[in-house]
Amino acid sequence: MRIKFNLLLLYFLLLSMESVVSLSYAALPSSINNQPLPTIAPMLEAAMPAVVNISTTKNIQIVDNPLLRDPFFRHFFQVPDSPQRQQKNSLGSGVIIDSSQGFVLTNNHVIDKADKIMVTLKDGRQFDAKLIGTDPESDVAVIQISADNLTALPIADSAQLRVGDFVVAIGNPFGLGQTVTSGIVSALGRSGLGIEGYEDFIQTDASINPGNSGGALVNLRGELVGMNTAILAPTGGNVGIGFAIPTNMAITIKDSLVKHGEVRRGLLGVATQDLTPELVNAFNLPNPFGAAISRIDANSPAARAGLEPGDIIVSINDKQVKNSYEIRNMIGLLQIGDEVNIEYYRGSNKQSTVAVIGKPQRPHLDGGKLHPTLSKTLLSVPGKNQVEGVLFEKIDSNSYAWKVGLRPGDIIVSANRYRIHNLEELNQVVNPDAGLLINIQRGEEGFFVLLK
């Protein structure tokens, strides 16, 4: 009985303590020793109007039952002749980076293939946006709105970020509306994740969720340090590992998109690999930083600059190179014609050279040399983000190919019932003295064309 009484007394004491704690929190003072309590509310009041909500609409074709392609069934079931389409909507975020021009920075995957882009400001105003340019390789896009009284975020030098800096993520998660989460910079220079073609991510534990993509990652001064892009979610939810594209990369790409509508990446012409402890010992290197050249393309800028397989690149434009991903990122931000200073080890000797970034070369073929029905066409290889096959780069409007409905941008994915991936494979299956059956991929649609 005494034990029960003591337990009951302890229970009431705990309740009393909880009440005292609750009362003390309810009466939390606005200042301590005449000093105001810390808050980032003033910074957010200035920064949040620069972050916008983005909604997109995409028209996609409905894949119908193959039976309904038969004219009898189409007539019997009164199926319309025009393709059936439905709308797909998505949500994301963006950051105003130029108030006078109305430029908004966002992710490519937020607006990819959208037929309509709607931007909603913090004050509730809505505007149709124009696509200025997009770079799927880095997942950066720029759109533009025509509006007055816009607020733009100041841009910080993301190279000055340090692990442990406090950051705030602003975006539109799950379509809830503007939401703010806070955390720290967990790591810098994250790459090799397989998320994008060019990766140099800021990692943060500030909560980033679906819909935050394209939103702002700001420092405590309210300056943009990164654009929220992706999360690592092995369980399907936020686990405190989010990634943002640093402003130095995003703004460089934005400048190219605004100027050219695309990123005109150049070519150095090297393949590199990371250094292992064994390679460091084998090459007798003073430190483990750098990347080994494993291949040099013939007649490439690297070859003309005197680089050779086995050279260890340790710095590009006076910036230390830690691994092969950093080389890819650095070269990927350069334009055709840019000069690049390269420091490297050849054996135990440290040397330097200057290379001029060249234009990537894609193989081309006059279609008439392949098959007479393809005369007055130019065939090439599709871009990195397109389906593998052979691309119709140019088609003369007076050609046979044009008259049968082929258009520039169409991609041949099979020929004479053989799957093809490049010009060599297409050449192997084409008989210039016989008809040519090709399967064409055009956007999200596919169809066959018989050339004879």
Element (H, E) at 190: strand 179-190
Q: What is the DSSP letter of 300?
A: S
Contact predicate 358/388, CB 8 Å: no
DSSP readout, 388-440? SSEEEEEE-TTSHHHHTT--TT-EEEEETTEE--SHHHHHHH--TTS-EEEEE
Distance CA(54)–CA(73), nearest Å, equals 42
Q: Which of 431, 376, 373 is nearest to 404 (CA)?
A: 373
- Tell me if 310 sits within 8 A of 282, measured CB to CB: no
Could you tell me which residues come within 8 angstroms of residue 135 by beta carbon, excluding any fewer than 6 positions away? 108, 141, 253, 256, 257, 262, 263
Q: What is the largest CA-CA distance in the chain?
A: 105
**Beta partners for 127?**
119
Pinpoint the alpha helices (H) of 261-369.
277-282, 301-304, 324-332
C-alpha distances in angstroms, 444 versus 60, 81, 85, 300? Answer: 8, 18, 12, 36
For residue 140, list its beta bridge partners. Answer: 135
Q: Which residues are catalytic?
A: 109, 139, 213
Count of alpha carbons within 13 angstroms of residue 106, beta-carbon side: 37
Of 131, 118, 105, the C-alpha closest to 214 is: 105
CA 344 from chain center: how many Å? 30
φ and ψ at 273, to 5 degrees? -140, 155
- Provide the b/e sequence for 99-122 (b: ≥16 CB within 10 Å): eebbbbbbbbbbbeebeebbbbbb
The first and second tokens of residue 20, run together, are 């005292």
1: its two tokens: 């009985």
Question: For residue 285, what are the contacts with CB-CB under 8 A and spacing of at least 6?
Answer: 275, 279, 312, 345
